[in-house]
């Protein structure tokens, strides 16, 4: 299960960097909004989870927190895409 979610995380990273830019870290502006800090923090969380994921394959106590936090983070990504679509957040990168 952990390996599956690690693959899901890598797929979300790939999608955000290539095809579906609205969930990219570059689409968290403007900096004056608290929402931008929230979604910027979400993407920093994804970086941390990218380290914790492989570690949780070895250390079983990390598995449940990794899966739970990753599921919550993945559920929030469509919210970011919706906010970008509505113009609440903007993209300032590729």
DSSP string, the chain: -HHHHHHHHHHHHHHHHTT-GGGSTTS-B-TTSHHHHHHHHHHHHHHHHHHHHHHHHH-GGGHHHHHHHHHHHHHHHHHHHHHHHHTSSB----
Residue pair 53/60 in contact (Cβ under 8 Å)? The answer is: no
Q: The pTM is what?
A: 0.81
For the chain, the residue count is 94
Convert the pLDDT of each residue in 41-81 to its tens digit.
998 999 999 999 999 999 999 999 999 999 999 899 889 88
What pLDDT, on a 0 to 100 scale, did the predictor assign at position 94?
56
Convert the pLDDT of each residue in 23-48 to its tens digit.
787 777 786 778 888 888 998 999 99
Separation of alpha carbons 22 and 53, rounded Å: 24
Name residue 90's beta-bridge partners. Answer: 29
């Amino acid at each position: 299960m952990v390996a599956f979610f690690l693959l899901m995380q890598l797929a979300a990273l790939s999608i955000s960097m290539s095809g579906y830019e609205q969930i990219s870290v570059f689409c968290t502006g403007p900096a004056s909004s608290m929402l931008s800090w929230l979604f910027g923090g979400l993407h920093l969380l994804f970086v941390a989870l990218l380290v914790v994921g492989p570690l949780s394959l070895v250390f079983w106590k990390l598995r449940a927190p990794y899966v739970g936090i990753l599921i919550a983070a993945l559920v929030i990504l469509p919210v970011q895409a919706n906010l970008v679509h509505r113009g609440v957040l903007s993209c300032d990168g590729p």
